[in-house]
């Protein structure tokens, strides 16, 4: 499917893949399970999660930076992916625990008794024991993996079709997507939503069938999977945004009406990009939450999707590596500051605790980036390239 010249025309893709590969090997060499142990398991997990955030960030970059749709709802798809995989993880793990405890009984349990016991175990916290309809496929990993792709894809397809068809654009569309993710998170907050209300799904770091495998090993496996997904996602998006398709998409961003007058079916392009990025966001979520261990509706509150836009804007829109840099830089910096890693600054009368002031700094620097450096951190690369070119 790829034209032979694709990679040679997009040298940044090669650079990125090479960097990602080096990084993955480096982390592997320093991890507890596979290397020297310089990096703790929890830090490897943080890095793995960051890679997943980078993956959704490049999806956001494609939909916003390339296609001009400022979606403030992509974290909803991320969350759905996480819920879809979380349902299987939780079901399968509870099943193994329940079967073990029931096998001690004198009379062997019936299938129905096992299912009921699993239901009580999972839904006891919300005062129920029946499996809701949406858990119908929870016992099958294959089907749930399909859900990771299908549910965000279909949701984006329906939502996008409705929105683009009636020519909702600009800030209206942004608000509408924000409303979508708000509605979803409010819905999931209910106890009778079938996904355990505000308890969310937990214990996702325990992978069924790998009880004996230590978390240090599992973390490396997920780190590799996340790196692979990011690499493949990068390739896919680089391909989508290059060539004629990419030109049309960028044309839509710059002047939608003109592209439409040129005879292109703008809505189809937008719908394709919107749905594709939603699917990738779902996959990123499915890789993220087993590393995080828990997912609850607060994860998909509107604020999360706005942060996503912040990352992409700080990293630099319209260039995929910019999104990666922004997501990695801001999310790691964020956890460093809020985790108490940054030293407090004493001003004599007042001590600046970064746990309190980090968000103020982030907010203001975000304004500064928007005002003074609309190209973000990625813009620095332009300066480098221009210097080399002029030399």
Contact 259, 266 (CB under 8 A): yes
Q: Does 133 bind other proteins (CB under 8 A)?
A: no
Q: Closer CB to other proteins, residue 188 or residue 276? A: 188
CB of 158 to other proteins, least distance (A): 10
Q: List binders of other proteins among 241-260 (CB under 8 A).
A: 257
Alpha helices (runs of H) in 302-390, residue ranges in sequence order: 302-315, 320-338, 354-372, 379-390
Interface residue with other proteins among 262, 345, 364, 383 (CB under 8 A) is 364
Q: Is the dihedral of CA 189, 190, 195, 196 positive or negative?
A: positive
Q: Closer CB to other proteins, residue 58 or residue 180? A: 180
Q: Check residue 132 and report its DSSP letter.
A: P
Q: List binders of other proteins among 67-96 (CB under 8 A).
A: 70
Element (H, E) at 169: none
Q: Does 261 bind other proteins (CB under 8 A)?
A: no
Integer Cα distance of 29 and 82 in angstroms: 28
Q: Does 109 bind other proteins (CB under 8 A)?
A: yes
Q: Closer CB to other proteins, residue 69 or residue 238? A: 69
Interface residue with other proteins among 303, 333, 342, 373 (CB under 8 A) is 303
Element (H, E) at 247: helix 243-254
Q: Closer CB to other proteins, residue 229 or residue 312? A: 312
Q: Closer CB to other proteins, residue 179 or residue 385? A: 179
Interface residue with other proteins among 21, 374, 382, 383 (CB under 8 A) is 374
Q: Provide long-range contacts, Cβ within 8 A and 24+ apart, for 63-66.
A: 63/273, 63/274, 63/277, 64/309, 64/312, 64/317, 65/253, 65/312, 65/317, 65/318, 65/319, 65/322, 65/323, 66/241, 66/246, 66/249, 66/250, 66/253, 66/273, 66/318
Q: Closer CB to other proteins, residue 20 or residue 308? A: 308
Backbone region of residue 198 per phi and psi (left: phi > 0; alpha: psi in -120 to 50; beta: other values): alpha
Interface residue with other proteins among 3, 22, 26, 172 (CB under 8 A) is 172
Q: Does 175 bind other proteins (CB under 8 A)?
A: yes
Q: Does 60 bind other proteins (CB under 8 A)?
A: no
Q: Does 170 bind other proteins (CB under 8 A)?
A: yes
Task: Pull the structure tokens for residue 191.
Answer: 């106890």
Q: Does 330 bind other proteins (CB under 8 A)?
A: no
Task: Pull the structure tokens for residue 241.
Answer: 């945004």
Q: Does 225 bind other proteins (CB under 8 A)?
A: no
Q: Does 363 bind other proteins (CB under 8 A)?
A: yes
DSSP string of 175-229, one letter each residue: HHHHHHHHHHHHHHHSGGGSS-GGG-EE-TTS-TT-TTS-HHHHHHHHHHHHHHH
Q: Does 126 bind other proteins (CB under 8 A)?
A: no
Please, is 230 exposed, middle or buried when counting C-beta atoms within 10 Å of its C-beta (0-12, 13-18, 19+)? buried
Contact 243, 69 (CB under 8 A): no
Interface residue with other proteins among 182, 230, 249, 323 (CB under 8 A) is 182
CB of 94 to other proteins, least distance (A): 19
Point out which residues bind other proteins (CB under 8 A): 70, 106-112, 159, 162-163, 165-168, 170-172, 174-176, 178-180, 182-183, 186-187, 189-190, 192, 257, 302-303, 306, 309-310, 313, 356-360, 362-367, 370-371, 374
């Amino acid at each position: 499917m790829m034209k032979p010249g694709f990679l040679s025309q997009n040298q940044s893709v090669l650079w990125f893949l090479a960097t990602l590969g080096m990084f993955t090997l480096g982390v592997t060499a320093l991890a507890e399970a596979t290397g020297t142990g310089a990096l703790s398991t929890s830090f490897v997990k943080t890095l793995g999660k960051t890679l997943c955030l980078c993956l959704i960030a490049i999806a956001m970059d494609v939909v916003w930076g390339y296609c001009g749709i400022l979606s403030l709802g992509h974290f909803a798809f991320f969350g759905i992916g996480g819920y879809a995989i979380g349902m299987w993880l939780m079901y399968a793990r509870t099943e193994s625990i329940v079967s073990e405890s029931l096998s001690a009984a004198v009379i062997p349990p019936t299938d129905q008794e096992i299912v009921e016991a699993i239901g009580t175990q999972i839904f006891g916290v919300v005062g129920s024991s029946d499996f809701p309809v949406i858990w119908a496929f929870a016992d099958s990993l294959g089907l749930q993996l399909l859900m990771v792709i299908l549910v965000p894809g279909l949701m984006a397809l329906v939502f996008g079709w409705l929105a683009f068809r009636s020519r909702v654009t600009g800030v209206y569309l942004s608000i509408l997507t924000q409303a979508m993710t708000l509605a979803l998170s409010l819905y999931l907050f209910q106890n009778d939503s079938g996904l355990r209300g505000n308890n969310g799904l937990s214990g996702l770091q325990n992978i069924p069938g790998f009880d004996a495998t230590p978390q240090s090993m599992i973390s490396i496996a997920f780190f590799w999977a996340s790196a692979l997904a990011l690499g493949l996602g990068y390739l896919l998006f680089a391909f989508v945004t290059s060539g004629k398709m990419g030109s049309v998409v960028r044309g839509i961003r710059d002047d939608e009406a003109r592209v439409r007058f040129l005879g292109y079916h703008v809505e189809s392009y937008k719908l394709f990009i919107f749905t594709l990025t939603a699917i990738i966001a779902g996959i990123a979520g499915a890789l993220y939450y087993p590393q995080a261990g828990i997912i609850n509706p607060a994860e998909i509150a509107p604020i999360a999707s706005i942060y996503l836009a912040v990352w992409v804007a700080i990293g630099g829109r319209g260039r995929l590596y910019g999104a990666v840099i922004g997501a990695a830089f801001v999310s790691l910096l964020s956890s460093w500051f809020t985790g108490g890693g940054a030293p407090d600054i004493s001003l004599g009368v007042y001590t600046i605790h970064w746990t309190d002031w980090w968000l103020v700094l982030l907010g203001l620097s975000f304004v500064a980036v928007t005002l003074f450096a609309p190209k973000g951190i990625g813009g620095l690369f332009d300066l480098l390239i221009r210097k080399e070119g002029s030399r």
